[in-house]
Chain A
Amino acid sequence: MTTRTSPGGARRVGGKTSKKPVFSASRALLLYLLPLPVLFASLYGVLYGNVRVAFGAAVGFALAMVGAQLVRHGLTLEVESRRRKIVRRLSTVPYKLLGHGVVGLAMAIVALLVVKHSIPTALIVGMASSLGSFLVYGLDPSRSLPDAPAIGVTSEEVIEILNEADGKIAGIESAADQIRNLELKQRLHGIVGGIREITDIVEDDPRDLRRARKFLKVYLDGARRVTEGYAATHPSNQSGELEENFRAVLGTMETVIAEQKERLLENNLTELDVQIEVLQTQLEKEGV
């Protein structure tokens, strides 16, 4: 798998969404399930007035849950960062690492206070728990991934806008499914395809966000509202005027999408043209 860094710095992985298998967030289930007997131990401690067991088990269980939650959050961030072509500059908090540590601490406390192991044994139990958690769930991905300061946006911002756009596209799609008129439905699906092409262009080269930002933020929002509004009133209101107006809006949407795509592709061609020119000048100057 090749890793490219765009001139802006936002990192793209192999031109495609990374297919590296990762443990999904639900897999942190082991960390939630395995400490469950500690909860019962704590309940026994409370029931029979054994303060040491009740306290040790309660603290151990609570810490184990905190550790599991931290690892789960780390996994969620990892899965999310691999979903897109652009790699998110990950959180500065090493959630998984913290989670492994907290799980180890929890088990050490349980081993010391409830099982009454010696301090060295409790430490070994704690370290083994952390090691197991680390081997299964791994460490947080590198935090040294580059940002995109040169293009005025961070990779987080690009991902945020693309995620928002995905939500709006889904809204338009589900509204289109509610519309009975086949022609309008097909046109809306075509529009959705066009919007997806635009988001793909932006995802491929985040520098295009400068030109597509207004489209993705403002225009798409309006398109979703109009489509949802029409879909909501459509079953009850069959007036020809409304349908004609909506048809006109769809026409505008199609034009704007086509223009936006053209603009983005033209921009890429212009940039390529500039790059060729720069290279040519460089070669002429250096006499290669």
Chain B
Amino acid sequence: MEQMSVAMPELLKKTIGIAVLVLSVGGTSCSAFMHSWDNDQSGTAIELSK
């Protein structure tokens, strides 16, 4: 029981950390990928319209 009460904050910290890490690093990375893809698509669209 005592061990659990010591482990809980640590577990909570890690869980929040993973969430923040996934949202910030993963989110930015995916966003970067989508942006590079979007730019490419819009570029192609412009090319086609010409």
Decide: B21 and A35 in contact? CB cutoff 8 A.
no
- The count of chain B contact residues (Cβ–Cβ below 8 Å) is 25
Q: Given A48-B40, A50-B39, A64-B25, does the pair A57, B20 have CB atoms closer than 8 Å?
A: no
Q: Given A31-B25, A125-B24, does the pair A114, B36 have CB atoms closer than 8 Å?
A: yes
In the complex, what's the smallest C-beta–C-beta distance from A9 to chain B, in angstroms?
28
Decide: B40 and A44 in contact? CB cutoff 8 A.
yes
Q: Provide the residues of chain B in CB contact with A136, threshold 8 Å.
A: 14, 17-18, 21
Q: Given A36-B29, A110-B28, does the pair A116, B13 have CB atoms closer than 8 Å?
A: no
Q: Provide the residues of chain B in CB contact with A135, threshold 8 Å.
A: 13-14, 16-18, 20-21
Q: Given A44-B36, A116-B35, A128-B23, does the pair A34, B29 have CB atoms closer than 8 Å?
A: yes
Decide: B35 and A114 in contact? CB cutoff 8 A.
yes
Decide: A132 and B29 in contact? CB cutoff 8 A.
no
Q: For chain A residues 106-124, which have a beta carbon within 8 Å of chain B?
A: 107, 110-111, 114-116
Q: Provide the residues of chain B in CB contact with A41, threshold 8 Å.
A: 29, 32-33, 35-37
| Complex CA distance for A45 and B40, rounded to whole angstroms | 8
Q: For chain B residues 1-50, which have a beta carbon within 8 Å of chain A?
A: 13-14, 16-26, 28-33, 35-37, 39-40, 43
Among A37, A129, A133, chain B packs the most CB atoms within 10 A around the CB of A37
Among B22, B23, B25, B31, chain A packs the most CB atoms within 10 A around the CB of B25
